[in-house]
Structure 1
Amino acid sequence: MDPDALRRICLSFPGAYEDYPFGPETAVFKVRASISGGARHEGKVFALSSMSPDGYVNLKCEPGLAVQLRAVHPEITGAWHMNKTHWNGVRLDGTLPEDMIRDMVEDSYDLVVAGLTRKQQEQLGWARLAGSGGGPDG
């Protein structure tokens, strides 16, 4: 996956923005929602990437799934400089299908947004299907 495609995917989610707190070589994608009165919290990281053609992206992942993905795909490892229980490093060298990477980015975003307050989730227009309590229609 090329860096521009990764950037488009990451920035397609509500409240997502790109930051460079570690310098120009590492793009950090975060999600942020305003709270009452328009105040803002610091954004929460859902992806980090070197943004180079054979680079990598670090993505949050449920621990059990992280282990399974690493066992099946040598391109997926524990993420550098992150908690390897919860974060995978994914090579962007074209060996993994783009739709798989897109799904992993979306899962990472969902895991991070699930940790926000309900009010922030509502401001982002986010509703997780599982546990929404609304029956078959959500």
Structure 2
Amino acid sequence: MGRTTKRFGAAIAMTAAIGLATATTAAAHECYNASRSDKGNTQAGANSNAWFTLVVADAIGGDVADGVLTPEQGECVLAAYEASGAPSSFTIKTVAGKDGVVGGPNNADGHGIDHVFAAYGDVIGGAYAGCGAGGPG
């Protein structure tokens, strides 16, 4: 999972850097189905090569293991993120559809295909910033 988590972290950092959070279509590297149930996410993440499940605590733990966060910052970031009520995991699309788009418009409204960063970027960034950390590795 470490390599996948690093790949996702790099995608998030790149997304933030280029401002993709305001895009009107959902790019495959951080798309998730906001309407799918936890059970549906588990099934998709376990039974499809096109989706993988990213557990937020594991991603933050990866940042600690890679030296991006101190253990104390990792605990702080996780606590701040969990306190926000944001999902503890995302099942993310890894294979793009036509023209690199999955589904349709990214409304960040909790329905259909959304971008993780458009929906939760402020929460993720706020958790890191509030704990004195730069951002996801």
For normalisation by structure 2, the TM-score amounts to 0.30
For normalisation by structure 1, the TM-score amounts to 0.30
Task: Return the structure number with greater helix share.
Answer: 2
Q: Quick check: which has more Rg, 1 or 2?
A: 1
Larger RCO of the pair (alpha carbons < 8 Å, separation 6+): 2
